[in-house]
Chains A and B, each alone.
Chain A
Amino acid sequence: MTVRVQREDFDTAAELERLTAGNTQIGAVVTFTGLVRDFADTPGAQRMTLEHYPGMTQRQLEALVAEALQRWPLDGCLVIHRFGELAPGDRIVLVITTSAHRQAAYDASAFLVDWLKTKAPFWKLEENGGERRWVEAKASDDEAAARWRR
């Protein structure tokens, strides 16, 4: 079970290989990759900076992974979240879940992404020349996270 918060890009295929190598109990791998899309809130923005709260980010993501492991029978789980400067098209987050059967891997993946969007302390700043704008949290993200509440 791995959580990494890093500035660098990641290699999805290499991470998947590492997570599954030598484990033939795994029957399903679900890979979620989040990309930076066009900046809806700041038309024309060319650059986005993702700020985070270093210690707490790691701690919160580890807590989310621990919760996923309690809820679903996973063989492996990896979360990588980037910070720093990013451009449209860049990879920003990777979640890989592995399990004997697909449903656990699918559900755990959706859970992790929904919850990290509302709990992991990251903030997006969009910039377009002199104009800068902090992205506002979305109610739809809160609703997506709420469906996993027990």
Chain B
Amino acid sequence: MRVLYFALLRERVGIPEETVTPPADVRTVADLVAWLRGRSAQHEAALADAALVRVAVNQDYARPDQAVAPGDEIAFFPPVTGG
């Protein structure tokens, strides 16, 4: 699955995107966040504070219990500040 990071989260992780293959027991957004946080100290710094992380699955906002699957595009970003 393709994982994208934007704005402050991109800077904290250090990369704009990565392709990952999580284990089969990673079934939801919450599972994926927990798994990604274990990948590096940078991932942990970017994703630790849930209040500062928004998630989109295939370009629609997603809740923690939403399912994720191989082939999905998952994006992590801070609360938005456009307009």
Contact = CB atoms under 8 A, between A and B. Distances in A.
Report the contact-size class of chain A (Cβ under 8 Å from the partner). 20 to 34
A118 B82 CA distance: 8
Contacts, number: 70
Interface string B32-63: 00000000000000000000000010011100
Interface in A57-102: 59-60, 81, 92-93
A60 B60 CA distance: 8
A53 B17 CA distance: 12
Contacts of B69: none
Contact of B4 (A53, A60, A93, A124): A53
Chain B interface size band reads 10 to 19
Contact of B81 (A34, A60, A135): A135
A50 B6 CA distance: 11
Interface of A: 34, 50-53, 55-56, 59-60, 81, 92-93, 113, 116-125, 134-137, 141
19 contacts: A52-B82, A53-B4, A113-B83, A116-B83, A117-B82, A120-B80, A120-B83, A121-B56, A122-B80, A122-B82, A123-B7, A123-B82, A124-B82, A125-B7, A134-B78, A134-B81, A135-B81, A136-B81, A137-B79
Given A34-B83, A113-B83, A134-B8, 13 more contacts: A53-B6, A53-B75, A55-B59, A81-B82, A93-B82, A116-B82, A117-B80, A117-B83, A119-B80, A120-B83, A134-B78, A137-B79, A137-B80
